[in-house]
Amino acid sequence: MSTWRHYLFLVCFATTALALSVRVVYLGVTERDFLQEEGDRRSVYKEDLPAMRGMIYDRNGEALAVSTPVFAVAVNPKLFDATNQTELSELARVLELGAGELERTILNNRQRGFLYLRRHVSWERMDAVRQLKLGHVSLVPEYRRYYPAGESVAHVVGMTNIDDLGLEGIELAFEEQLRGEPGTKTVLRDRKGQAIDDLEYGRAPRFGTDLQLSIDSRLQYIAYRELKSAVQSHSAKSGSLIMVDVKTGEILALVNQPSFNPNGPINQRIPTRNRVVTDTYEPGSTIKPFTAMAALETGRYGSDSKIETSPGYFWIDNKMIQDPVNLNTISLSQAIQKSSQVAIAKVTLDLPEGSVFQVLQRSGIGEYVGTGLPGEAIGRFSNVGRTSRVSRVVMSYGYGFSVTPMQLASAYVTLASHGNRLPLSILKRTRPPESERVFDIEAAAEVVAMMEQVTERGGTAAKASIDHYRVAGKTGTARVLGQNGYNDERHVALFAGIAPVSDPRIVMVVVVNEPQSGSASGGQVAAPIFARVAEHSLRLLGVMPDKNRSGVDESPRANTLLAKRDR
């Protein structure tokens, strides 16, 4: 009886084994594609290979924005056992998260197959996560943007978001060039979701294009330091500074206060607007040199032409124009040096109706500068209503229209380059751009000579003078327009300067918005910032001094310009 049972068991076993073998062979032949597809769906995955963003350099090759490889920690909420308190606690500890918070996050996203737990994880923390060997927890390679110069270049370079996409500044303006294209690869994973082998590499990642800016990080830091110190010491609301290379139109420095730290935690980065580009101001007396240019172009005025300003005020219709003191009879050059409203107003009324407007328009006021920086404002500038005498006069000394600091700098570059209008650039140029002559070379040189007296003893910007370098410039102190008209207690202090006069290399515009401590005038607040920044910058740029101990320029170029001016 036992023998019979033994053989029956063997037959049944053999029959079952044969049936299974036949079934396996049958499925392997007839359902091969289906089984292969199902197996791959559970263990073979396509992954993206992140592309490194293009680097941003200053004009000297110093890195301003770099991408560093980091990791993101992700989980599959559908498969991860969030009720395993031991694993959950270990993962929370390594990621520096609360265990309860982590559990709720995973449980609340049970319907999802992928969930980031922490982004931009360092290599050390990534290694700690890997050593836990947790199922369905993956490490995703990515890049994090780092800005070596920090706050000093924040408004220029900008920043990226957590997904490495540009949010502000150059990062946003040149997003297409900087952003790369991710690649792909096929990986094999085990039952815990861990990658165990790279099966195939698909498309290789295409890295982003590097950019080289016109900014000089040395000058940028000097400008940032001096502007920040001045804004704090004068208890001002904000401040802006832009420095431009007269020869090429390249922006060498662009800083604002307040600034922000682009390297801080994602949730703590609070970008402030790039005021050099976005904020507009009535330029005040910084416009008077252009009124002088309009006067010279008529041929009826020269720098020595006399203007009667006594008794220090006069009426135009129902508006009184006045100077702080009675300057009596002064020349056009002295009108610029002393910043006389009366003299400039009387000259303007003697000019053809649209003269001042046309000069400002030719210099670039009222037009986009076109650097590509995000948020560029155009200001408010129109000839509508300029037929009235009051409107013409207030325009001649910088009221009734608004400009950005960058627009004002562009206009002063036109004066400094002896009447050639240059396009500005935030990118380093390999060759000088094409320029457009908008002013006569001799008239431009004569205006710059008038502006030089502004920085000498007796001028409104004596504090803008620099040892060993001749400086030309113009102050501005514009009242802020409020709900009830102009407020005599709120001012914007401005200074626009050129150095060195004999062969201009830099133009700088400084704006300090509503200084509260001490004087609010451009000559007392903005001009000293120009002097400190320009002195260091000219030396770093290797510009030769053009002023001897007596203050007289003896350079051949200066003598040539003076000879042309005196013809």
Which residues are marked as active site?
Answer: 285
Tokens 């990534």 belong to residue: 126
Closest CA to 288 of 476, 526, 527, 7: 476
What does DSSP say about strands 420-421 and 313-316: parallel, antiparallel, or unpaired?
unpaired
Which tokens sit at 215?
């900014």
Q: b or e along 461-495 (b: 16 or more beta carbons within 10 Å of the residue's beta carbon)? A: bebbbbebbbbbbbbbbbbbeeeeeeeeebbbbbb
Q: What is the DSSP string of 21-53?
A: HHHHHHHHHHSHHHHHHHHHHHHEEEEEEPPPP
Give the helix/strand (H/E) hosting 69.
strand 63-75
What is the spatial distance between Cα 320 and Cα 342, in angstroms, rounded to a whole number? Answer: 9
- CA dist 441 and 439 (Å) reads 6
Token duo for residue 525: 């607040």
- What residues have CB less than 8 Å from 539, skipping those under 6 apart? none
Are 447 and 296 in contact by the 8 Å Cβ rule? The answer is yes
Query: By CB neighbour count within 10 A (0-12 exposed, 13-18 middle, 19+ buried), where does 243 fall?
Result: buried
Q: Distance between CA 254 and CA 223 in Å, rounded?
A: 8
Pairing of strands 485-499, 506-513: antiparallel
Tell me the Ramachandran region of residue 184: left when phi exceeds 0, alpha when psi lies from -120 to 50, beta otherwise.
Answer: beta
Considering only CA atoms, which of 308, 312, 307 is closest in space to residue 292? 307
User: Other C-beta atoms within 10 Å of 158: how many?
Assistant: 26
Q: How far apart are CA 467 and CA 465, in angstroms?
A: 7
Indicate the Cα dihedral angle 93, 98, 100, 103, nearest 10°.
-60
DSSP H or E run through 107: helix 99-107
What CA–CA distance (Å, rounded) separates 84 from 82? 5
